[in-house]
Amino acid sequence: MNKSVIATAIIALLIGSGIGYWVSSERSAESAAEQPAAGERKPLFYRNPMNPGITSPVPAKDEMGMDYVPVYAESDQPEERKPLFYRNPMNPAITSPVPAKDEMGMDYVPVYPEGSAGSGAPAGTVKIDATMVQDIGVRTTAVERSTLSRQIRTIGRVAYDEERIARLHPKYDGWVEKLFVDKTGELVTKGSVLLSIYSPQIVATQEEYLLALNSAEKLKDSPFADVREGAESLLRSTKERLQLLDVPERQINQLKAERKVMKGVRLHSPFNGIVMNIGAREGERITPATELYMITDLSRVWVIVDIYEDDMPWVRKGDTANMQVAGIPGRTFTGKVTYIYPYLEAKTRTLKIRLEFDNRDLVLKPDMFANIDIQANKQVDALVVPSEAIVRTGTQEQVFIQRAPGQFEPRSVTVGVSANGQTQIVSGLKAGEIVVTSSQFLLDSESKLKEATAKMLKAIKPDSGAAEGNATQPAQSEAESKKMRQHDSGMEMGDQQ
């Protein structure tokens, strides 16, 4: 009797506890459904885990006690990316359509479509985390508008002013009668006598002039006009012959005044200068081919300098140049650019430029070497970036733009002139954009890899060989890879034992 009562009480207690637990769980579920936690996604409905056709607007359990599965809006569900193929980690050119291992047992790396996450970034965009950005030393700067100018430093050589060189040749045959200036390097002034020449041709022309002069004087009162004009014409022609033979005007006037033929004809200096060469000595026979003197005016000198090709856009005629010479310490000469030669030196790939400097005190000597600073007057107002930001690939110039923290986009640009570590950007960038100035070559290698992957993806079609299991190199099948992984796990367990 007592045993049956105790058993009945225990059964009733268990039934009551179960009913209470069920009611409590139902109320808590309804409360949770009515009041979702803050920030938690709200499900659209709940679905039977064993029969998706059965749904419930509130949390529920099926006959086996399993909770219904919440169903959320499509935009709330994270999209799982599906790899297009798998790439050998040591040789990116080797791919496989299924998971595989290389010869070293390393898993192939999955390759996903660019922009599958909805980033909209151009092909070749590199994404790295903030830690990696700091580790590889990526530095950036903003594109800005600035004025570029340039100072060109080079060396030059002092040379003669070719417009102030006189090479004196006679216009007749003769002999040097006397040298009045017989030393090279001697300073001469304009009009000073250089030498005296005896020439039979000059003597004969003087005699003709004296005859014409006497005849013109006798016939000046002739009643016949044609006779007077003929005598005067003969006089003019003989005088012109003397002038064409470079007989000085002072000697012609002396001949007219003295009425006596002069044996020697004197040659005078055409300007102030230095005697650089003497081509004849006393008693020597001369011809029109003989260079009697070479005289140079050194009151103004040229300086010939060479500049590199990349300096060509900066130099203009009229630019100011400063010069210093080792032989004249402490003094700076100021000149200007007077001529830019229209050709390059083939061996040195340089361009010659001519400068002019005043040298009235004759301290600058031809063939002196000098240090030259050319102050280029040209200024360019343009968008500029640091020159180290430009990546030259051989076919184009490009920079890396920071689209967002850790996201870098390669962009082709057209560059202009460069000066003082800055390069002009003709097209491709806007003011305010952020460009990478260091470690861009590491970014470039990764970008090239991504671009190559993007080109491969364009060639892949849904029904192409990738779906059929083709690969660039025979790789392990999924079953073989699974078998190898099981084998590797067994070996590891054996080692541990």
Q: Which residue has the tokens 């083709």?
A: 470
Q: Which of 372, 299, 369, 297 lies closest to 327, judged by CA?
A: 369
358 in Cβ contact with 338 (< 8 Å): no
386 in Cβ contact with 434 (< 8 Å): no
* DSSP code for 348: T
In 10 A of CB 125, how many CB atoms?
24
Task: Identify the pLDDT of residue 470.
Answer: 46
Q: Which of 359, 374, 378 lies closest to 321, judged by CA?
A: 374
Token pair belonging to 271: 């300007």
Q: Which of 443, 490, 478, 423 lies closest to 148, judged by CA?
A: 423
- Please spell the DSSP secondary structure of 98-150, one letter per residue: S--B-TTSPBPEEE--TTTTS--PPTT-EE--HHHHHHTT-EEEE-EEEEE--
Task: Identify the pLDDT of residue 16.
Answer: 58
In the chain, what are the domain boundaries?
A: 1-35, 40-77, 79-125+439-497, 139-145+381-438, 151-161+297-377, 170-291
Q: State the Cα angle at 320 between 309 and 331, rounded to 5°.
A: 110
Spell out the long-range contacts of 70-76 with Cβ–Cβ below 8 A and sequence spacing 24 or more: 70/43, 70/45, 70/46, 71/43, 71/44, 71/45, 71/46, 71/47, 72/41, 72/42, 72/43, 72/44, 73/44, 76/41
Token pair belonging to 357: 């400097």
Separation between Cα atoms, residue 433 and residue 441, nearest integer Å: 19
Dihedral sign from CA coordinates of 172, 175, 176, 178: negative
321 in Cβ contact with 181 (< 8 Å): no
Task: Identify the pLDDT of residue 25.
Answer: 52
Task: Identify the pLDDT of residue 42.
Answer: 78
- The CATH superfamily holding the domain 151-161+297-377 is Efflux pump adaptor protein, beta barrel domain (2.40.30.170)
* DSSP code for 40: P
- For 176, phi then psi, to 5°, come to -75, 120
Q: Is residue 355 helix, strand or coil?
A: strand
Task: Identify the pLDDT of residue 32.
Answer: 47
Fold equal for 139-145+381-438 and 151-161+297-377: no
Mean pLDDT in order along the chain per 10 residues (497 residues): 62 62 52 49 79 83 85 59 79 83 87 54 74 83 88 94 93 94 93 93 92 86 80 89 90 90 90 93 94 94 94 91 94 96 92 96 94 86 90 87 87 88 90 88 73 61 44 45 48 45
Q: What is the CATH number of domain 139-145+381-438?
A: 2.40.420.20
Separation between Cα atoms, residue 138 and residue 444, nearest integer Å: 12
Token pair belonging to 289: 């081919």
